[in-house]
Amino acid sequence: MDIQSIKNRFGIIGNSPALNHALSTAAQVANTDLSVLIVGESGVGKEAFSNIIHALSARKHAPFIAVNCGAIPEGTIDSELFGHEKGSFTGAVDSRKGYFETVNGGTIFLDEIGEMPLGTQARLLRVLEAGEFIRVGSSKVQKTDVRVIAASNRDLLEFAQQGKFREDLYYRLSTVPIRVPALRDRKEDIPLLFRKFAGDFAERYKTLAVQLDAAAQQLLVSYPWYGNVRELKNIAEQISVLSTDKNITAETLQQFLPVNAQSRSLAVIPTGAAGSPAHSPGDYSNTERDILYKLFFDLKKDMNDLKKMFFDMAHQSGYSQATMSENIIPAYSNPEPIITPTTYNNATPILLHPTDQHEEVDETLLLSDREKEFILKALKKHKGRRRDAANELGISERTLYRKIKEYNINE
């Protein structure tokens, strides 16, 4: 089947070379039983590629199941995948078949494979190498014939070097790797996708399709789209529903785009022992370093705002600023330091107010404290619903579950 036929059949929009190469690889490997590892950022459509591979394979009439490894708690993932025997653990009132037993002869898509616990990885490796598995609580070896397609938005080889992912499993899964390009790496496809989404939503909501003028289209293409196709679709739906004028200008479009794209990427930052960062600043990518800088400057601004409020209250009570400065806290300086445009791209932030560079802050700046604060706020906002809170924070439900236990958070 040629590339265009695949696009038409599965609703794939775009003509970028990177996308065409990924589709060509998927079509070539589909009719084999080789394991496939699909890599790409969140929201690029990795699951669509797993559907393409299964539908074009000899297993197309057999079962297909997609499993999000990050959404299954660590204590139950072995049971979900491989099944369990009655009484094997608390709550196991009956024997249960796992996915590798029920999907025998078909295909399993393991999304967020990087979130899989190491013990489960060892079990999966045995399935891939020998086609064998053992139910939890059993000693009987069972056979299965399942094709495994895995996906991750993480660098699994880097995880393997850090001891978080089995290296032998990585090489076994990545027999054929397929890299799905980020939306910002195929800018020529952005207008096509927006037009398709706008048309779909116009039909769904029985309204006219929105149209972008030249300036709005240029803004759409230049936006970084950290949420990729998923984010573009959400923006298209918002505009289709909320915009009264169906001819969209750049000014109108700007109202629907986040004010600061970087802040949208702010997720819970992993910490090491004693709340220190899990790796040194030099190990962070540019995006992660941007997030750290923004976090520290937001903290500094909050501190200065608190100082100003404190001095104002003290002044109203008859205390002099000199007395307060000498006996309680350092003197208040400009509450809003100005950051040059190059701040986030250099290792050393540049402030236009040199007095702020020598200001000492006694309050804690531990990332773990901010991380816990974000988790508490997200859980409160979504009334304890972990899945919604995890989506708000930009992490998997399993990672959130682990963080709740780590910080001993009472929901």
Same domain, 166 and 189: no
The verdict on residue 225 lying in a domain is yes
The verdict on residue 66 lying in a domain is yes
Same domain, 20 and 109: yes
Q: Which of residues 313, 338, 358 is at a domain's end? A: 358
Same domain, 165 and 192: no
Cβ neighbours of 319 (radius 10 Å): 14
Tell me the pLDDT of the chain (411 aa) as tens digits. Answer: 789 999 999 999 999 999 999 999 999 999 999 999 999 999 999 999 999 999 999 999 999 999 999 999 988 999 999 999 998 888 888 999 999 999 999 999 999 999 999 999 999 999 999 999 999 999 999 999 999 999 999 999 999 999 999 999 999 999 999 999 999 999 999 999 999 999 999 999 999 999 999 999 999 999 999 999 999 999 999 999 999 899 999 999 999 998 655 444 444 334 443 344 444 444 444 445 555 555 655 666 666 666 666 666 666 656 555 454 444 444 444 444 444 444 444 444 444 444 444 444 444 556 667 788 888 888 888 888 888 888 888 788 878 888 888 888 876
**In this structure, are strands 107-111 and 64-68 parallel, antiparallel, or unpaired?**
parallel
Residues with Cβ within 8 Å of 269's Cβ and at least 6 positions away in sequence, in order, are 277, 288, 291, 292, 295, 367, 371
Residues with Cβ within 8 Å of 187's Cβ and at least 6 positions away in sequence, in order, are 221
Contact 41, 186 (CB under 8 A): no
Is pTM beyond 0.75 here?
no
Same domain, 45 and 136: yes
Q: Which of residues 181, 197, 220 is at a domain's end? A: 181
Same domain, 58 and 81: yes
The CATH code of the domain that includes 223 is 1.10.8.60
Contact 411, 379 (CB under 8 A): yes
Report pLDDT for 292: 57
Kindly tell me the number of DSSP H helices and DSSP E strands found in the chain.
Answer: 18, 9
Report pLDDT for 294: 55
Distance (Å, whole) CA 398 – CA 72: 6
The verdict on residue 13 lying in a domain is yes
Report pLDDT for 277: 41
DSSP helix/strand/coil, 111: strand
The verdict on residue 86 lying in a domain is yes
How many Å is the maximal CA-CA distance in the chain? 84
Report pLDDT for 274: 39
Structure-token pair, residue 87: 């009484």
* 36 DSSP β-pair partners: 149, 176
DSSP helix/strand/coil, 132: strand
Domain count, the chain: 3
Distance (Å, whole) CA 78 – CA 84: 8
Report pLDDT for 36: 97
Same domain, 171 and 209: no
Same domain, 237 and 123: no
The CATH code of the domain that includes 39 is 3.40.50.300
Q: For residue 298, give the H/E element and its range.
A: helix 286-316
Same domain, 151 and 206: no
The verdict on residue 169 lying in a domain is yes
Same domain, 24 and 90: yes
Report pLDDT for 367: 64
Distance (Å, whole) CA 220 – CA 54: 33
Report pLDDT for 303: 67
Report pLDDT for 290: 53
Domain that holds residue 351: 277-358
Report pLDDT for 18: 95
Q: Which of residues 358, 378, 403 is at a domain's end? A: 358
* 378 DSSP β-pair partners: none
Same domain, 101 and 31: yes
Same domain, 305 and 157: no
* 108 DSSP β-pair partners: 65, 148
Same domain, 69 and 170: yes
The verdict on residue 83 lying in a domain is yes
Summarize the chain as % helix, strand, coil (round to 5).
Answer: 50, 10, 40
